Amino acid sequence: MATADVTQAGALSFEFDLAAATVRELNERLHRVDPERPGGRVLVRNPGGKHAIAVGLDAPYEVEIAGHVGYYCAGMNKLASVRVGGNCGVGVAENMMSGAVVVEGSASQSAGASGRGGLLVIHGDASARCGISLKGLDVVVRGSVGHLSAFMAQRGCLVVCGDAGEALGDSLYEARIYVRGSVAGLGADCVEKEVRGEHLAEVSELLARAGIDDVDPGEFRRYGSARRLYNFHVENLGSY
Amino acid sequence: MHGGVDRSARPPEMAAPGPTNGWNPGLRESATFDRNAIAEIQRAAREGMYDIRGFGAKRRVPHFDDLLFLGASVSRYPLEGYRERCDTDVVIGTRFAREPVHLDIPITIAGMSFGALSAQAKEALGRGATEVGTSTTTGDGGMTPEEREHSRILVYQLLPSRYGMNPDDLRRADAIEVVVGQGAKPGGGGMLLGHKISDRVAEMRDLPVGIDQRSACRHPDWTGPDDLEIKIEELREITDWRVPIYVKVGATRTYFDVALAVKAGADAIVLDGMQGGTAATQEVFIEHVGIPILAAIPQAVESLVDLGMHREVQLIVSGGIRSGADVAKALALGADAVSIGVAALIALGDNAPEHDPGYREIGSAAGYYDDYQAGLDPAGISTQDPALAARLDPVEGGRRLANYLRTLTLETQTLARACGKSHVHNLEPEDLVALTIEAAAMARVPLAGTSWIPGTITTP
Ligand SMILES: Cc1cc2nc3c(=O)[nH]c(=O)nc-3n(C[C@H](O)[C@H](O)[C@H](O)COP(=O)(O)O)c2cc1C
């Protein structure tokens, strides 16, 4: 199972300064994987809000990005652990498959969109559509999330330690949502559900993997799909 | 279609109206409330739900049939069939991709999902296309190993739903197609009804088995042309700028959509007219949203020309392409290639007379079948039922598709040679005239025998 910890120990494989080199050169270097020794520790300096940093990784790298990034950082990540020292633009870790992505700051819209596996941790807040179209990725947000979070989420978990905006879990499928604070409103077919033992265990485990140890797992409420929109029915007309 | 009643299929032998078999001139059918309109009101009153079906628009709209080629005579000379070359190859993705797509013929197979189609049908499409050197396209449901294996050139779609989206498949693809819209439903999302969500389809899409899937109509992580540009940049970075990236749009505000897609960095534009096929869409959407491909191609070409990008960003058009005449006319209007959906399924055996008894059992008839959403296809194409799917032999289906594609190519060459062209891309609007005022205005070619192009405009 992925852990959020990007190991600090171990020698740096290489360092990349995005003030001096391009994102293309960085990604090209990261995609050139030595099959004998895949992965390694990588430090990226001066990300300067650039887009598509460290996308399409396919090896157990530990990438540390010292600063803010633009859109789609760590998009479609596989195996790698990526830590962003600052804030993220739209779609951080979109469609990630495995590994871990940790954001020290806040994330813009569509964080973890359509993610299929691994763990995304956001220590600040996440904006609208956090965990939209989720397909197996687990997302843990230390702060709050904006409107339409977990829209049409199919699989995986969204754990929000703060509050959630309007239309949480709209048109939800089988993803599970846990919110500790207030929920401004639930979307179509999203309902509050009982927190049973297995759910408490799930939240505890996700918080532990996210390295969050000062939040009580017992304070979360659970939301899920009422499964009323799973099949077309005349009675649901207002919801389509 | 809902509730097991197919309103769209009118049995072919239905007699003229009247209480007896004879013609009764006292009975007059309403042009407004015709039999289809009446049946639809009755169906709606019974079921309380819109009609969902497959296939494309069934109403008549201005189309390639309304255009004619002038052919060569004294003022220009034709090329000899068989002896003088008329080339058909196309390269797509010359703008940015390190490895553009090379096609032997200007006819590609459109994106149709595994889920909508059986695994055998997808395999047959791959076999047929590969045999004649052209590409196939995945669809709303991801890439199956069968279709990757049997398609030498495979285009991988990135759709709003992102079902099965996987970076490994992305890296395995020969091109990527960002789907913004589809001609049958510009502005609508995918649909797959419960009876087609088999275990395998559910697994690939991360959905529960047997639900009525309603997919998103907007992408989850971008909206608008500025975001699209960054999205395309991300896809290029993931694939190291190796493969071309297409953008697919349904034909609506085509001039502007094409300009924005080009600005966003597309290598190719896939433009699907309102006649374009679908696996499952509301009938009201299929018939009433979007514009005919005939009206859209000149807008797209004008947009590309205005940007200095015609032939630099390739234009692939679709929506009701049936024959080499349609292909040649699309190319003459300025497209680089065409794409076929429904016609390819018909080549595999869809709507074939030998399945007529099967179609009748489910309330349809050969030549009328459009319930691709129902999963009951007696031809074994638009189904996930293993017994039905087994009726389609992928090798035989592939052979029929290859035959059909060869025929389209030969017909296209025949027309190009008649116009004196040594490459099908040398066909031009000047070779065309229109039979109707509508077609002349839309295609921007003169009404036959005149120099009149109605409503000539610079920007729509
Ligand atoms: C059975 C079927 C499934 C389709 N699935 C998709 C799809 O998954 N994604 C997509 O972009 N278009 C899809 N389409 C539309 C085709 O890609 C194409 O735009 C259309 O079929 C072209 O028009 P034509 O059928 O008249 O040739 C589908 C069409 C059919 C008939």
Whether residue B304 lies inside any domain: the answer is yes
| Residue B39 burial (C-beta neighbours within 10 Å; 0-12, 13-18, 19+) | middle
User: DSSP states of B88-148 as a string?
Assistant: --EEE-TTT-SS-EEESSSEEEPB--BTTB-HHHHHHHHHHHHHTT-EEE--TT---HHHH
Question: Do A70 and A116 fall into the same domain?
Answer: no
Give the nearest chain B residue to A75 (CA atoms): B234
Same domain, A112 and A193: yes
E strands in B291-372: 314-318, 337-340
Q: What is the largest CA-CA distance in chain A?
A: 62
Looking from the CA of residue B382, the nearest atom of ligand 1 is: 1
A26-35, B14-23, B116-125, B244-253: the lowest-pLDDT one: B14-23
pLDDT of the residue at B7: 44
Residues A67 and A183 grouped into a single domain: no
- The band of B82, judged by pLDDT with boundaries at 50, 70 and 90, is confident
Distance CA B192, CA B116 (A): 7
Tell me the chain A residues in contact with residue B170 when contact means C-beta distances shorter than 8 Å.
56, 76
CB distance A104 to A83 below 8 Å: yes
How far apart (Å, rounded) are the C-alpha atoms in residues A109 and B287? 35
Average pLDDT over residues B92-109: 98
Per-residue pLDDT for B10 more than 60?
no
CB contact under 8 A, A52 and B230: yes
What is the CA(B182)–ligand 1 centre distance, in A?
7
Q: What is the total count of domains within chain B?
A: 1
Q: Is the pLDDT of residue B238 over 50?
A: yes
Asked if residue B31 belongs to a domain, the reply is no
Same domain? For A56 and A126 the reply is no
Domain match, A76 and A110 both: no
Distance between CA B151 and CA B131 in Å, rounded?
9
- Contact between residue B231 and residue A72 where contact means Cβ atoms under 8 Å apart: yes
Residues of A in contact with B48 (CB under 8 A): 234
Q: In the predicted model, what is the mean pLDDT of residues A96-104?
A: 98
CA distances from B390 to A162, B129, B221 (A): 53, 21, 39
Looking at residue B458, what is its pLDDT? 53
pLDDT value at A182 more than 90: yes
Q: Which domain holds residue B83?
A: 64-443
Residue B131's Cα: distance from chain center in Å? 20
pLDDT at residue B291 tops 70 = yes
In a domain, B144, yes or no: yes
Cα–Cα dist B440/B451, whole Å: 10
The pLDDT confidence band at residue B24, using thresholds 50, 70 and 90, is confident
What integer pLDDT is reported at residue B189 of this predicted model? 86
Torsion sign across C-alpha atoms B42, B46, B52, B54 = negative
Can you give the pLDDT at residue B8? 46
Determine the residue of chain B that is closest to A55 in CA distance: B238
Kindly report the pTM of this predicted structure: 0.94
A 169-198 → B contacts, CB under 8 A: 171, 173-174
Residue B151 DSSP SS3? coil
Q: What's the CA gap between B135 and B105, in Å, rounded?
A: 9
- A70: which residues sit within 8 A by CB, 6+ positions away? A49, A50, A51, A52, A53, A89, B230
* B13 in any annotated domain: no
Q: Is A11 on the interface with B (CB under 8 A)?
A: no
pLDDT at B234 exceeding the cut of 50: yes
Task: Report the distance separating Cα B159 and Cα B156, nearest Å.
Answer: 10
Q: What is the pLDDT of residue B5?
A: 41
CA–centroid distance, B56 to ligand 1, in Å, is 9
CA of A104 to the centre of ligand 1 (A): 43
- Looking at A46, A74, A97, the residue that finishes a domain is A97
A108 touches chain B (CB under 8 A): no
**pLDDT grade for B195, boundaries at 50, 70 and 90:** confident
Among A97, A130, A151, the domain-final residue is A97
Residue nearest to atom 2 of ligand 1 (CA): B279
pLDDT at res. A234: 58
Please check whether residue B88 lies inside any domain of the structure.
Answer: yes
Same domain, A6 and A93: yes
Q: Which atom of ligand 1 is nearest to the CA of B110?
A: 17
Average pLDDT for A9-32: 93
- For A38, the domain range is 1-97
Is B3 among the domain residues? no
Q: How far is the CA of B156 from the centre of ligand 1 (A)?
A: 14
**CB within 8 Å: A114 and B238:** no
Per residue in B312-356, pLDDT (tens digit) is 999 999 999 999 999 999 999 999 999 999 999 999 999 999 999
**Cα B184 from Cα B59, distance rounded (Å):** 13
pLDDT of residue B194: 84
**Is there a contact between A232 and B212 if contact means CB atoms under 8 Å apart?**
yes
Cβ contact A232–B49 (<8 Å):
yes
List, for residues B205-226, the tens digit of each pLDDT value.
999 888 888 788 999 999 999 9
Number of independent structural domains in chain A: 2
Split at pLDDT 50, 70, 90, the class of B9 is: very low
Residue indicated by tokens 């419960």: B194
How much distance in Å is there from the Cα of B33 to the middle of ligand 1?
30
Asked if the structure places residue B156 within a domain, the reply is yes
Write out the H or E segment, with its range, that includes residue B202.
helix B199-205
What the block records as the tokens of B207 is 């959905």
Q: Are A104 and A86 in contact (CB under 8 A)?
A: yes
Looking at the structure, tell me whether residues A49 and A70 fall in a common domain. yes
Show which of A56, A71, A97 is a domain's final residue: A97
Give the pLDDT confidence score for residue B252 in this predicted structure: 98
Nearest CA to ligand 1 atom 8: B139
CA angle (A219, A225, A226) in 5-degree steps: 110
List residues bridging with A160 in a β-sheet. Answer: A141, A179
A239 pLDDT higher than 70 = no
List CB contacts (< 8 A) between A154 and chain B.
205-207
CATH number for the domain including B425? 3.20.20.70
pLDDT tier, B282 (very low <50, low <70, confident <90, very high otherwise): very high
Q: Of B458 and B60, which is predicted with more confidence?
A: B60
Q: For residue B458, is it within any domain?
A: no
Quick: pLDDT tens for B391-431. Answer: 999 999 999 999 999 999 999 999 999 999 999 999 999 99
Q: How many CB atoms lie within 10 A of CB A72?
A: 32
Residues of B in contact with A132 (CB under 8 A): 220-221
Above 60 in pLDDT, residue B457? no
Residues with CB under 6 A from ligand 1: B 54, 56, 110-113, 116-117, 139-140, 157, 179, 182-183, 248, 272, 275-279, 318-321, 339-343, 372, 382
> Do A92 and A54 share a domain, yes or no?
yes
Quote the pLDDT of residue B25.
Answer: 86
pLDDT tens per residue, range B106-162: 999 999 999 999 999 999 999 999 999 999 999 998 999 989 999 999 999 999 999
Q: Which two tokens stand for residue B186?
A: 């510009």
Distances (CA, A) of B296 to B267, B285, B316: 19, 18, 12
B435-447 CB burial, b ≥16 within 10 A, e <16: eebbbbbbbbbbb
The pLDDT, as a whole number, for residue A4 is: 42
**Residue B193 — very low, low, confident or very high, per pLDDT cuts 50/70/90?**
confident
Contact criterion met (CB < 8 Å) for B234 and A232: no
Q: Specify whether A192 is located in the same domain as A216.
A: yes
What's the rounded Cα separation, in Å, for the pair B152 and B400? 18
